[in-house]
Amino acid sequence: MRFKHPAFGSFLILLPLTLAAEPADDLRDAITALSRTSHAWETTTRQRFNGETAEPRLNPNAPIEVKGRMEPDGYTQFTQLPSRELPVPVTAVSKEADVVAHTPLGWLRRTEMRQTPGADREVTFEGKQVRLSRFFSAALKATALRPLTDNLFDLMADLKSFRNESGLIIAELPDKAVEQLWGDAQAKRAPEIQGTVIFKFNEQGLAEYHLVLGIGFPNSRTKKVAWSMQQWTTRISGVGTTRVEPPEGAVKALEQ
């Protein structure tokens, strides 16, 4: 049996709210309501750190990795922000399961990017020189992004042990889900593992949630557990007021 560490005390104090008595039902209702109205969101990069405890280290200034906007029965737009791997943004627009990305060659579907010859060349995009193959790699990733509520429904199916604590909803992830989210095979070797999702609400519904993953290996010298941690945050805004007006080029590409 792998160890589950409950150390979230100092984190919880930072995010107060008031909820009803059935946290799983509250959360499911909130995700359903969110899926039926327009909203925007932003997700931070993964913050990684090591320590002798599995307690999260909330970083409100963590850089944003992805921004999204959606309207039910309309368009959904994703933007991957510039990073060290790619110094320009990548935008994808989807509607009814069809998706295109803005590339140096125009708005393209996934098949068009894969079939473009001579991708191993430098091109100019957003005033910067980028290698087209590297851009396509990032664009394919952007076109694989899913609406926030789709991800939340999938996450909800994995969660267990829901509870209200200090005005938050907290749920645990099973070991298999942590292994999948971790991103490499190291989690499968860890003798101690934990995954927790912390949900915060406001008067409009679900306001943000935090995934906190930890894998632990005993330290033969100190006899303590050496924890490796990953955490990231998604914040939700513009509920009911967000509008998605994609560029004309994206609309034309989706209509073709």
* 3 belongs to a structural domain: no
Instruction: Give the gyration radius of the chain's Cα atoms.
Output: 20
Distance between CA atoms of residues 212 and 73, nearest Å:
32
Q: Are residues 167 and 190 in the same domain?
A: yes
Would you write out the chain's pLDDT as a tens digit for each of its 256 residues?
A: 344 444 444 343 333 444 445 899 999 999 999 999 999 999 999 999 998 888 888 888 999 999 999 999 999 999 999 999 999 999 999 999 999 999 999 999 999 999 999 889 999 999 999 999 999 999 999 999 999 999 999 999 999 899 999 889 999 999 999 999 999 999 999 999 999 999 999 999 999 999 999 999 998 888 889 999 999 999 999 999 999 999 999 999 999 9
Q: Specify which residues 93 forms β-bridges with.
A: 77, 100
Q: Are residues 122 and 184 in the same domain?
A: no
Distance between CA atoms of residues 77 and 214, nearest Å:
31
- Sequence-separated (6 or more) residues with CB below 8 Å from residue 130: 86, 87, 88, 104, 122, 123, 124
In 10 A of CB 70, how many CB atoms? 23
Residue length, the chain? 256
* 70 belongs to a structural domain: no
Q: Are residues 162 and 227 in the same domain?
A: yes
Q: Are residues 91 and 163 in the same domain?
A: no
Q: What is the value of pTM for the model shown?
A: 0.88
Distance between CA atoms of residues 205 and 41, nearest Å:
13
Distance between CA atoms of residues 223 and 2, nearest Å:
17
Domain span at 171: 9-62+147-237
